[in-house]
Amino acid sequence: MTFDKDRYITEMKSMVDKAIARLKTERPRLKIFSVSIWTDPNSGFSSINFDSKANSDKIVAKSNKYIQKKFTEYVKEGDLEMAELFKHNIERNFNPVDFKLKNFETVKHKKIGRNWEEKSKGQCWKLLKPALTEVGKYAFKKVRLLTLENHFELAVNSERDWYDKTWRLK
């Protein structure tokens, strides 16, 4: 099955537009801190996710507590190489699974074959990455119509991470 970029972009833009319309009516007072848009090429499924600053701060505090605990444990054990991996705190929730409104709007792509990433040995990303970048640019313009927090950012996924390429308010 070949990737139909035009159809994919149309489906993704529709998902973004529906999500923004829903947010305006269902959550008009929600200030958006982060937006994550991702596509899983093995399932042919895409999602847009929204996070608030308060939720992000809660997730970050929990994560940083764990990171600090691991850092302290490794230092006590004398394993400074492992401790180094836990030296830095995180400042933002980057995991769409932990977003306040995860899978807020989704789309199942009919023209993305099952296990596309696996079957293509990752080559699907050569087609998907530029398409996701185009969707990210579109979404960034559209999301600006919502109430946004300072330090707002929008991200799309890549073969490396669920939250990768970002756009930020200046």
Residue 118 has pLDDT above 90, yes or no: yes
pLDDT average, residue stretch 139-149: 95
What is the enclosing helix (H) or strand (E) of 69? helix 53-77
Q: Average pLDDT of the chain?
A: 94
The percentage of residues in the chain with a pLDDT greater than 70, rounded to a whole number, is 99
User: How do residues 70-107 score in pLDDT, each as one tens digit?
Assistant: 888 988 999 889 888 888 888 899 999 999 999 999 99
**Would the pTM count as exceeding 0.85?**
yes
Domain boundaries, the chain: 1-17+105-170, 52-92
45, β-bridge pairs: 40, 108
CA–CA gap between residue 31 and residue 152 (Å, rounded):
9
CA–CA gap between residue 57 and residue 13 (Å, rounded):
29
pLDDT value of position 116: 96
pLDDT value of position 7: 96
